Structure 1
Amino acid sequence: MKPSPLIYHRPRSIEEACQILAEVAHEGKVLAGGQSLIPMLSMRLAAPANLVDITAIDRLDSITASAGSGVTFQALATHAALASHPGANAVQPLLGRALQLVAHPTIRNRGTTVGSIVHADPSAEMPAVLLLLDGSVTVRSVRGSREIPARELFLGPLESALEPDEIATSVTVPGASAGVGVAIDEIARRHGDYALVGVAARVQVTDGEVTNARVTYVSAGEFGEVVDYRDVIGGASVADDRDPLWNRLSEAARERIETEADIHATARYRSQLVAALTARVVLRAARDGVASLATRPSAEHVEAGKK
C-alpha cells in the first residue's frame, strides 16, 4: 500500500520545523527515524496532509551523560547509537539493557529513541523505561520550549501530551545511584517481535534487603502506570531467592496487573508471564543494586561528551 497524498517538508533548522508545524496545525506529522510512522502511513492508519522530515537538521543527534545530570539524548539519536554509547551505559545502564530488546538491529540502526517514546506505544520498551526512571521530554514550538515529566507525557495508547505544533527535541533520564539496581526482561513469540509481556524494575537495597521496588510493564497493566511493590517485597533477602516474599511478589503482580487477550496470547497466559517475570526481574534488579554498591559512583562526575 501507499501513503495518502501529502506535502513533504524538509526543514534545515529546528526553528523552521516549528514554523511549519505552526502553519499546518493539526495536519502535520514529524518524521525522524520513521520506523513506526512509515508503516502507519503505508497502511493509511495515519494520513497527515503534511510530513515534516527533521533528519536534515544538524546537531540534533547528540548524546551526553554525567552522573550529576543524567543522560540526555536528542531527537535524531538512534537506538543503536544510544545503546552503544559508553557514557550513557555507565551513567544509566537500564537504557542499553532495554534497547537491546527493541526489535532487530536494522530497526535499531534507523529508529530514534525519542521518537519511540513520544509515539506512546504500550507495546514498546522505551516508554516503560522513561516512566520507571522518572525522566522528562523537552519539546519546542514557535511559542518556546517546555519540559514534560514522564508521568504527564502519556495520555493513553498512542497518545502523548505534545501539542500538534510541538517537536520533541530531547529526552533526559537521571543517572543510576549506588544501592539502586535496574533490570528489564520480556517474553516474545520470536526474537524481535513485540513482547507478549515485558517488565522493567528499579529496586533499592540496604544491608542486603529490598527497601523499595518500582515496576513498569510492557503490553500489560495500565499504560503510564508505575507500580510500587514496597509493601509486598520490603525486607526480602536479595541473597536468598527462596525467601517467601518473592513468591508473594509473584502473586501480588498477578492480582494487581490486568492483562488482555489477543491473537498472540490469552489473558490468563499473559497474567502468568506477569507473575513470573515480575519476581525474576525485581530479584535481578535487587542484585544489580547490591553489585552497584561496589562498582557505581554515587557522586562523582562521569563526562561522556557528544556522540
Structure 2
Amino acid sequence: MIPAQFEYVRPGSVAEACEVLAGDEDAKVLAGGQSLLPLLRLRLAYPSALVDVGRLEELKGVHDRGDHVFIGALTTHDEVMRSPVVTAGCPLVALATAHVADPAIRHRGTFGGSLAHADPAGDLPAVVLALDGVFVAVSAQGEREIPASEFFVDYWEPALAQGEILAGVKIPKLGEGWGFHYEKFHRTAQAWAIVGVAAAVKRSNGSIAEARIGLTNMGATPLRAGATEAALTGVELGDQVRQACDEAADGTSPPSDLHAQPDYRRHLARVLTYRAVRAAAGAP
C-alpha cells in the first residue's frame, strides 16, 4: 500500500529536530525506518510530518562510561551487536540484538528507534528493562533521564514528551559473576517473538544470588518476571529452579492473535524462562 500524505523534514541538528517536533504533535521521528515504514504503508500511522534524524552524528556511537555503557539512539543493530564495548560491558544486549529480524534490517534499523517504537513484541525492550537501563531524552529544555521501568507506557507508546527525542540509553555494567541468555520463540527467523525471555543470573557459592528476567510479548509493555526473580534468589540449580520458573507468567496479560492464545504464551513463558535461566547460570 501507499502511505498517506506527509511532510518530510531533515533537520541539521538535534535542537532543530526538537523544535520541529515541539511545534507539531502529529509529527514522527524517522531513524532507520525499519519499524515505522511498514506502519505507514499499512496506514496504521498517519503522521503529519516525518522528521528524519538519520544523519545526525551526535546520536550515533557506543561509549564506555565506566559504570555503564552508553549506546547512541542512531547506532544500528549491527554496530551494537559487533561492538567490543557492548560485548564486554553488557553482553545480554549483544546476544539479544543478534535475534533482531535479519541482517538487512540489522544494518538499517537503529537501537534507539526500536526501543522508542515501544513494541512489546520487540526483542530489545525486555532486555533493557531486565538490565535496569536508563533512557536519555533530549529537548529544548535539556536532557531528561527515564528509567526503563517508566519508559514503556502502552502498546507503541514510549514516555517521550512532545518535542523530545531519544538520544541514547545507559546500560549498567553488572560486573563479575553474571551470566546472560536470550531465549526467543518465533515462527520464522525474521518474525517477531511470540514470546521472548531475557535472563541475567548471578551465581555465588553454587547458588543463584540474583536473577533479572525480562519478558517479551507478554503484555502491553515489556515485563519483569518479579515472582520468578524472587523465588530464584538463594536456590541451587535443580528442581527449585523449575518451580521458580513456573511462576514466570504470574501477573501477565499476554495478547491473543493469529500466532498464539494467552494460555499458550503463558506456557511458553514458563518453558523459555527455565531454559534462559539455566543457560545464563551456566547449567550443563
**Alignment TM-score, normalising by the size of structure 1:** 0.87
Q: Which has the higher contact order (CA 8 A, sep 6+)?
A: 1
Q: Which residue of 1 aligns with 2:69?
A: 71
Q: Which residue of 1 aligns with 2:204?
A: 206
Residue identity over aligned pairs, in percent, reads 38
Number of equivalenced pairs: 282
Asked whether 1:100 is paired with 2:98, we answer yes
- Is 1:72–1:170's contact at 8 Å kept on the other side of the alignment? yes
Asked whether 1:32 is paired with 2:31, we answer yes
Seen in structure 2, the aligned counterparts of structure 1 residues 48 and 93 have a Cα distance that, compared at 3 Å, is same
- Is 2:195–2:269's contact at 8 Å kept on the other side of the alignment? yes
Can you give the 5+ residue segments of structure 2 that lack an aligned partner in the other structure?
none
Q: Which residue of 1 aligns with 2:135?
A: 137
- Is 1:156–1:224's contact at 8 Å kept on the other side of the alignment? no
Seen in structure 2, the aligned counterparts of structure 1 residues 190 and 97 have a Cα distance that, compared at 3 Å, is same
SS at match of 2:92: helix
CA offset at residue 50 of structure 1?
1.2
2-structure distance, mates of 1:188, 1:47:
29
SS at match of 1:275: helix
Can you give the 5+ residue segments of structure 1 that lack an aligned partner in the other structure?
289-307
Asked whether 1:286 is paired with 2:281, we answer yes
Seen in structure 2, the aligned counterparts of structure 1 residues 98 and 230 have a Cα distance that, compared at 3 Å, is closer
2-structure distance, mates of 1:145, 1:174:
19
Q: Which residue of 2 aligns with 1:118?
A: 116
Q: 1:115-138: CA deviations, max 9, x gaps? A: 111111000011111111111111
Q: Which residue of 2 aligns with 1:161?
A: 159
- Is 2:216–2:222's contact at 8 Å kept on the other side of the alignment? no
1-structure distance, mates of 2:16, 2:144:
18
CA offset at residue 69 of structure 1?
2.9
- Is 2:225–2:249's contact at 8 Å kept on the other side of the alignment? no
1-structure distance, mates of 2:22, 2:194:
38
- Is 2:132–2:147's contact at 8 Å kept on the other side of the alignment? yes
- Is 2:81–2:94's contact at 8 Å kept on the other side of the alignment? yes
Asked whether 1:261 is paired with 2:256, we answer yes
Query: What are the within-5 Å matches in structure 2 for residues 146-157 of structure 1?
Result: 146-157=144-155
- Is 1:93–1:176's contact at 8 Å kept on the other side of the alignment? no
Asked whether 1:86 is paired with 2:84, we answer yes
- Matched to 2:46, the amino acid is A
- Is 1:151–1:224's contact at 8 Å kept on the other side of the alignment? no
Q: Which residue of 1 aligns with 2:52?
A: 53
1-structure distance, mates of 2:120, 2:278:
24
Q: Which residue of 2 aligns with 1:299?
A: none
CA offset at residue 257 of structure 1?
4.0
- Is 1:205–1:212's contact at 8 Å kept on the other side of the alignment? yes
Query: What are the within-5 Å matches in structure 2 for residues 10-29 of structure 1?
Result: 10-24=10-24, 26-29=25-28
- Is 2:225–2:248's contact at 8 Å kept on the other side of the alignment? no
Q: 1:158-181: CA deviations, max 9, x gaps? A: 111101211111111011311222
CA RMSD of aligned residues (A): 1.7
Q: 1:49-105: CA deviations, max 9, x gaps? A: 111001232343111125x23211112110001100111111110111000110011
2-structure distance, mates of 1:257, 1:202:
20
Seen in structure 2, the aligned counterparts of structure 1 residues 17 and 221 have a Cα distance that, compared at 3 Å, is closer
- Is 1:254–1:274's contact at 8 Å kept on the other side of the alignment? yes
CA offset at residue 10 of structure 1?
0.6
2-structure distance, mates of 1:130, 1:106:
23
Query: What are the within-5 Å matches in structure 2 for residues 195-274 of structure 1?
Result: 195-221=193-219, 223-228=221-226, 229-238=228-237, 243-274=238-269
Larger Rg over CA atoms = 1
CA offset at residue 250 of structure 1?
3.4
